[in-house]
Structure 1
Amino acid sequence: MRSRYSAFVLADGDYLMATHHSSTRPTKEKKAIVKWAKSVQWIRLEVLETTKGTENDTEGTVTFNAYFFENGNVDVIHEKSAFVKENEQWFYLGLSR
């Protein structure tokens, strides 16, 4: 999660796509994601809760707040993200239910 947040801060679309699971990867939206990530000023990531996601797990969730400054206002993305581990690498699946 922290590395994906850093990729948003750096507007590193290649990393965001590479760490997004192939079954949910928004390849067609890559340019728009990068453009938006560059247009805001990232403030901080606050991890609120994690479930599973340890070295021996193959899935996990992260609940977080990502604060950013946009159009003169501080805003926040609050999300519970699902991750899956394949071949010893973690991939973002999307919103957790």
Structure 2
Amino acid sequence: MARRTARRSHTIRPAASRPADPGCPCGLPAAYDDCCGRLHRGEAAAATAEQLMRSRFAAFARRDEAYLLRSWHRDTRPASVSFDPGTRWERLEILATKDGSAFHTEGTVEFRAHFTDAGHAGALHETSRFTRQDGAWVYVDGVIDA
């Protein structure tokens, strides 16, 4: 007589896991701690104007006033940065860059920063100017495009 093996019924359950890291708020796929977090903590400096722009967007998204002020040109830096509690910075698109590499002293970055404000989607389109101050890239000012 053939031997039958009893079959057990198995319930397959998804493994418990933490949510996947969505990447840095700046839009690059690296985790925040390995990307803009290093700049925010002062462990690294932005190598390009675009990297500084991305790190500043991430600082707005994370409400890091200290980093924003540190990365602002001393001649145009405000006394403080206020954050609208209803605004959430969602996504950054870099549209164009001019100069701003390790070989330049000035550069511009055109970007579109997507946000929600009280549940309504919006976007800020700006061309920002950057320069080197004491060897480090800093934000000077920007022109908001309609």
Shorter-chain TM-score tier: 0.7 to 0.9
CA shift digits 1:51-87 (9 cap, x unpaired): 0001010000000000001122101110000000123
Aligned to 2:110, which of 47, 60, 63? Answer: 63
**Which one has a larger percent strand, Structure 1 or Structure 2?**
1
Greater relative contact order (CA < 8 Å, ≥ 6 in sequence): 1
Percent of matched pairs sharing the same residue: 38
Instruction: State how far apart, in whole Å, the 1-side matches of 2:61 and 2:118 are.
Output: 17
Aligned to 1:84, which of 131, 143, 146? Answer: 131
Secondary structure of the 1:4 match is helix
**Which one has a larger percent helix, Structure 1 or Structure 2?**
1
TM-score normalized with structure 2 length: 0.59
TM-score normalized with structure 1 length: 0.87
Question: What is the root-mean-square deviation of aligned Cα atoms in Å?
Answer: 1.2
What is the count of residue pairs matched by the alignment? 91
Q: Which structure has the greater CA radius of gyration? A: 2
CA shift digits 1:21-78 (9 cap, x unpaired): 0000011x42x2xx32x43222100000000001010000000000001122101110
- Structure 1 residues without counterparts, runs of 5 or longer: none
Runs of 4+ in structure 1 off by over 3 angstroms are none
* Amino acid across the alignment from 2:76: T
CA shift digits 1:1-30 (9 cap, x unpaired): 000001001100000000000000011x42
